[in-house]
Amino acid sequence: MLGAIIGDIVGSVYEWDNVRRKDFDPLFHPKAFYTDDSICTVAVADALVNQRHPGESLKYWGRRYWENGGWGGMFSRWLLSDSLEPYNSYGNGAAMRVSPAGLLATSEDEAIQLAHHVTEVTHNHPEGMKGGAATALAIYLARAGLDADSIRAAVTKQFGYHLDRTPDDIRPTYRFNESSQETVPQALVCALTATDFEDAIRNAISIGGDSDTVAAIAGGVAEALFGIPEEIAQKGWAYLSDDMRIMLQALYRQPGVRWAGVVR
């Protein structure tokens, strides 16, 4: 979960000003900030840990931090409405917030089930559901100790994503796209071809596009694959409000969920 949040923070300044290289410095830009990606990730954790309706949790956290989010048009209208009905979105918002489901799952089936549970309240289009479930499954499999090649094969078999690429293959032609189908596979490639957590985040930023969301998705998977170096974990932690930190602590105290700062 913290891995997704760190990806969001690092990518926040590059969403509309892509850098398209890995050697940007420093990792955390002085103007970096958390966005709606982090807020929604905290909301999903709250829903799963405290057994809240995911829609109600998203509305609570989204309204609480309304001024901090760069909300998409349809989601913002849903967020401010009284309705809990989904709106058939196939955007990448489901995958960027789903990491708590992958961290809390105790089986492949449960990873997909939990992902569907927190996704269908808004992103009930088949592509939105697919993106959330694929991301959660990748996180679960990484937690279970599978290597990148095995995760790639399992996700491809289950969801049909073309993951046999590298960031170098993607970078030349990739452009900004907020759809799940044009964000999730690219983000998974960035994580599954990385050598460590930071490398995954740098891969994600380097391909351009919707940088904060690509890096949030990649960061959630990379956390489960590699752990997060303590220095990076503490820097990401420092950006968050007290109630966000409390929610992260509550998730990491759940059985089987390891604190993200421990490097595997």
* Digit-coded pLDDT (tens) for 85-101: 999 999 999 999 999 99
Please check if 212 is assigned to a binding site: yes
Map residue 48 onto helix, strand or coil. Answer: helix
Is residue 143 one of the residues assigned to a domain? yes
Query: Measured between alpha carbons, how far is residue 4 from residues 56, 175, 222 in Å?
Result: 21, 21, 9
Q: Let me know: does 128 contact 162? Beta carbons within 8 Å.
A: no
Considering Cα of 80, then 83, then 85, then 88, what sign does the dihedral take? negative
Please check if 213 is assigned to a binding site: yes
Q: Count structural domains, the chain.
A: 1
Check: pTM over 0.95? Answer yes or no: yes
Rounded CA separation 227/67 (Å): 31
Is residue 263 one of the residues assigned to a domain? no
pLDDT in tens, 21-56: 999 999 999 999 999 999 999 999 999 999 999 999
pLDDT in tens, 74-86: 999 999 999 999 9
**Which CATH number characterizes residue 177's domain?**
1.10.4080.10
Domain coverage including residue 198:
2-252
Considering Cα of 220, then 224, then 226, then 231, what sign does the dihedral take? positive
